[in-house]
């Protein structure tokens, strides 16, 4: 696994992300500055980390989505390369057109910073193969704009094509209003694009990968990616 | 040439910020407020005097960056 972590001004989770990637693959991720126009040779995973790129000016992720490096990411994704966006990274992927829909203000208007539970909807994707379908994992969220919304047609397609990979749920795995931390449509926590090679998710799996963090439920995502890419290599 | 681009949320899109402002206006006792929708205004100074060209450029600016057309409408005005 040769991963590249994008770095935009105002991003603050890039080191956590790099640490989680190193833990899973044993290799250092390349840190790629937003002004670059290409990705390092041989990159097989691009990660857009969380934070507050450009201070969330205009709309969350709007400015970063138009940064020079994103053209290279679009090319990479068009060729089938794996792209993972977490939190602000999810917002950036939506703003860049790589994923449909938009992340609106949390329905209860509050920034939410706490652990949530997510149900892994399927296990036959590079982003979920480290888990079992239906498995419930605990991961932290920290966002004010994570309320995923899209028009009815798009939601129907996402559901029909099995592109919702992660969904907010209760600790027992029940998807209900009480566990929908930000009011997202259909309790959506993470979706993939049509081709299945670009994932965006609001929760932070990279913050639950080591014993000292109190939980290691996020490991499966990175371990799955590493496995997938080693097999492909 | 002065121009203004106004970006507003499409109807039907939930606007919790507008709702909060609406609540505050009502609690201030401002009469007759039925509902509030929050938007954005961009005042842009354009170089050159060609109005058609400026308008086309501003539309491109709105489509590419100023508005997220999934959830927002925009209006371009040359002042």
What DSSP string describes A55-102?
A: GG-SSTTTTGGGSTHHHHHHHHHHTT-EEEEETHHHHHHHHTTSS-SE
Q: Which of B7, B21, B65 to mutate to test the interface with A (most CBs of A within 10 A)?
A: B65
Contact assessment for residue A180 and residue A187, using Cβ atoms and an 8 Å cutoff:
yes
CA dihedral of residues A123, A181, A171, A47 (deg, nearest 10): 30
Query: CA of B23 to nearest chain A CA: how many angstroms apart?
Result: 13
pLDDT band for position B45 (50/70/90)?
A: very high
Per the residue annotation, which of A87, A95, A143, A145 is the catalytic one? A87
Q: Which member of B13, B14, B68 has the closest CB to residue A59? A: B68
pLDDT tens column, A70-93? 999 999 999 999 999 999 999 999
pTM of the model: 0.94
Contacts of A62 in chain B (CB under 8 A): 65, 68
pLDDT tens, residue by residue, A165-190 = 999 999 999 999 999 999 999 999 99
Averaged pLDDT, B3-28: 92
Does the interface ipTM go beyond 0.95? no
Number of residues written out for chain B: 79
């Amino acid at each position: 696994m040769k991963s590249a972590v994008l770095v935009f001004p105002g991003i603050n989770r890039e080191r956590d992300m790099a640490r989680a990637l190193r833990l899973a693959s044993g290799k250092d991720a390349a840190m790629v500055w937003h002004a670059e126009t290409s990705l390092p040779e041989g990159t097989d995973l691009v990660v857009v980390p969380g934070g507050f790129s450009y201070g969330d000016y205009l709309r969350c992720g709007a400015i970063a989505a138009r940064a020079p490096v994103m053209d290279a990411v679009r090319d990479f994704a068009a060729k089938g390369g794996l792209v993972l966006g977490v939190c602000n990274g999810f917002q950036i992927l939506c703003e860049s057109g790589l994923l449909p829909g938009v992340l609106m203000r949390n329905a209860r208007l509050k920034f939410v910073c706490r652990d949530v539970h997510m149900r892994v909807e399927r296990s036959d994707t590079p982003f979920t193969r480290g888990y079992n379908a239906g498995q419930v994992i605990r991961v932290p969220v920290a966002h004010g704009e994570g309320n995923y919304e899209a028009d009815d047609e798009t939601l129907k397609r996402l559901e029909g094509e099995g592109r919702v990979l992660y969904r907010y749920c209760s600790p027992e795995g029940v998807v209900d209003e009480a566990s929908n931390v930000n009011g997202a449509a259909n309790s959506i926590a993470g979706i993939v694009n049509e081709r299945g090679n670009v994932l965006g998710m609001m929760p932070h799996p990279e913050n639950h990968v080591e014993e000292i963090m109190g939980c290691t439920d996020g490991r499966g995502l990175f371990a799955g990616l590493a496995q997938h890419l080693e097999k492909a290599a | 040439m002065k121009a203004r681009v106004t970006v507003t949320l499409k109807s039907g899109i939930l606007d919790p910020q507008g709702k909060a402002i609406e609540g505050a206006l009502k609690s201030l006792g401002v009469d007759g407020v039925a509902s509030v929708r929050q938007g954005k205004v961009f005042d842009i100074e354009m170089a050159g005097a060609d109005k058609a060209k400026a308008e086309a450029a501003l539309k491109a600016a709105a489509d590419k960056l100023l508005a997220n057309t999934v959830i927002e409408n925009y209006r371009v005005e040359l002042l």
